[in-house]
């Protein structure tokens, strides 16, 4: 049995202690607003759009290697529309179906788009277009796992958590930088 005491997990069997809460948060100020990044010891836990200006007012600069890699990714992306920086992701709580969808999204080049139906076919689940949309809705890795590059079959934008204005902006940004 393990208990949490003062930020540490105490293991009574072998009397060892290790940090229980090594979660760090920082904000990156991008052209579309603040992007919040949450990291843990196993990798990036989330990258998301921060809607309120008050949030992350005084976040420390990125310190550890995972934070620095996430910062580098965002900096490169918003400078050139792409980034070669690979991030280690903490995939806890993500289903195998969602992982397969996210892997398919990582193969979409910047400036290009696919449909929900194409992604479903790519992961060998041709009838799962709606489930793909559901997985994209849950995507905790905004921009890195590029759910903004997925459209409806009729060419409409579909949905996007932070708002369709941002989806349009990101697609336009990538298309401009691609030239």
Other residues' Cβ atoms within 10 Å of the Cβ of residue 57: 9
Name residue 11's beta-bridge partners: 16
Q: Which residues contact 4 (CB under 8 A, 6 or more apart)?
A: 10, 20
Catalytic annotation present for 152: no
Structure-token match 């806890």, residue found: 92
Helices vs strands, H then E, count in the chain? 5, 8
Active-site position among 74, 101, 147, 170:
147
Whole-number Cα distances in Å, 83 to 43, 73, 113, 124, 148: 18, 6, 17, 28, 16
Active-site residues, by number, are: 147
């Amino acid at each position: 049995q393990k208990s949490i005491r003062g930020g540490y997990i105490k293991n009574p069997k072998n009397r060892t202690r290790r940090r229980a809460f090594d979660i760090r948060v920082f904000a990156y100020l991008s052209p579309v607003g603040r992007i919040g990044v949450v990291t843990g010891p196993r990798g990036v836990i989330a990258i998301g759009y921060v809607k309120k200006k008050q949030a992350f007012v005084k976040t420390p600069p990125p310190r550890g290697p995972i934070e620095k890699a996430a910062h580098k990714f965002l900096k490169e992306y918003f400078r050139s529309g792409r980034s070669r920086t690979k991030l280690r992701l903490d995939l806890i709580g993500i289903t195998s179906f969602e992982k397969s969808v996210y892997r398919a999204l990582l193969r979409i080049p910047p400036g290009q788009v696919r449909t929900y139906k194409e992604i479903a076919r790519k992961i060998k689940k041709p009838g799962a277009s709606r489930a793909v949309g559901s997985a994209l809705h849950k995507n905790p890795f905004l921009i890195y796992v590029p759910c903004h590059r997925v459209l409806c079959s009729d060419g409409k934008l579909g949905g996007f958590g932070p708002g369709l204005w941002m989806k349009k902006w990101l697609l336009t940004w990538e298309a401009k930088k691609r030239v």
